[in-house]
Chains A and B, each alone.
Chain A
Amino acid sequence: MERTFNATWLVLIVLTIISAVFANLDFAYAALIILGLSFLKFIGVAFFFMELKRANVFWRVLLVAFVVLLLTVVWAV
């Protein structure tokens, strides 16, 4: 369990640094990449720190559907 938490934390920090780097690049798909990385961080916290991976599939699907829908709408408008 501790190893999973440690690995999750490390991945989240690396993703945060990558997001900040992409924000300062003048790159066509930067917004898409930033939102994609924030999706991964969101799922990392929910599924591993909050242990949603152990919850009923209903709660998992609901959260993933919410964040996918939100980030897609924000990107698309």
Chain B
Amino acid sequence: MADTAKIDYKNIFYPPGGILLWIIIYLELLTFGIALVFMALNARTEPEVFHESRMLLNTAYGAINTVFLLSSGWCMAQSVHFLKTENFGKSKLFLKLTLLGGILFLALKSVEYYDKVEAGLTVGYNVFFGYYWTLTLFHVIHVIVGIVILLVLGRTLSKKPETLKVEDYESGAAFWHMCDLIWLLLFPIIYLLF
């Protein structure tokens, strides 16, 4: 690796993944958080609509997708660990498993979206589904961006692992974990709460 120098994570300017990525993470969480608060406020004025709409969602799909993302996050953490110990083979293997988790998430989400469109539960169906489509699609875009970032990192890891910086790899991993964090807020509130 080009830079294996020990990073002082306790320094406020060097959180794992880099300060820039963490600023992005907080801004993303804040954006989704504000939308979820507005969703909860709307649910207060139309509790029946929100409850009936929530019951139209497939909780099993949401729970399975949570398992896919959490497992993918576990693989990503392992991949970073093996990169730091310069075990590039295992790092690559876990990166591929991470990507598989992301692709499975997108595949199941596509099935879920297809079911909803077939049933006529589109973005304009009611307020609840407006939030459902907006928030989950926005999250899906993040997952797709995360997959692209991991593919780029994976290419370097396969071709020139010695040039890959731990900081860059940690930043990519932090972005991927951010998708987990966002989903861990969306799943309980959209699929389970109302």
Contacts and interface: CB of A to CB of B under 8 A. Distances in A.
A52 to B, nearest CB: 7
Contacts of B77: 5, 48-51
A74 B9 contact: no
Contacts of B63: 16-17, 19-20
Given A9-B70, A49-B76, A56-B9, A70 B188 contact: no
Interface in A33-59: 34-35, 37-38, 41-42, 45-46, 48-52, 54-56, 58-59
B134 to A, nearest CB: 17
A28 interface: no
Given A49-B73, A56-B11, A70-B33, A41 B184 contact: yes
Q: In this complex, which of B44, B76, B185 has the most chain A Cβ atoms within 10 angstroms of its Cβ?
A: B185
Contacts of A63: 26
B74 interface: yes
Interface residues of B, number: 43
A46 B81 contact: no
Contacts of B177: 45-46, 49-50
Given A17-B63, A20-B63, A42-B184, A35 B193 contact: yes
A37 B184 CA distance: 10
Interface stretch (B35-43, B107-115, B153-161): B35-43
Contact of B12 (A49, A56, A66, A74): A56
Contacts of B191: 23
Contact of A42 (B22, B74, B181): B181
Nearest to B63: A20
B78 interface: yes
A70 B36 CA distance: 8
Contact of A46 (B11, B60, B181, B193): B181
B22 to A, nearest CB: 6
B188 A38 contact: yes
Nearest to B38: A77
B12 A50 contact: no
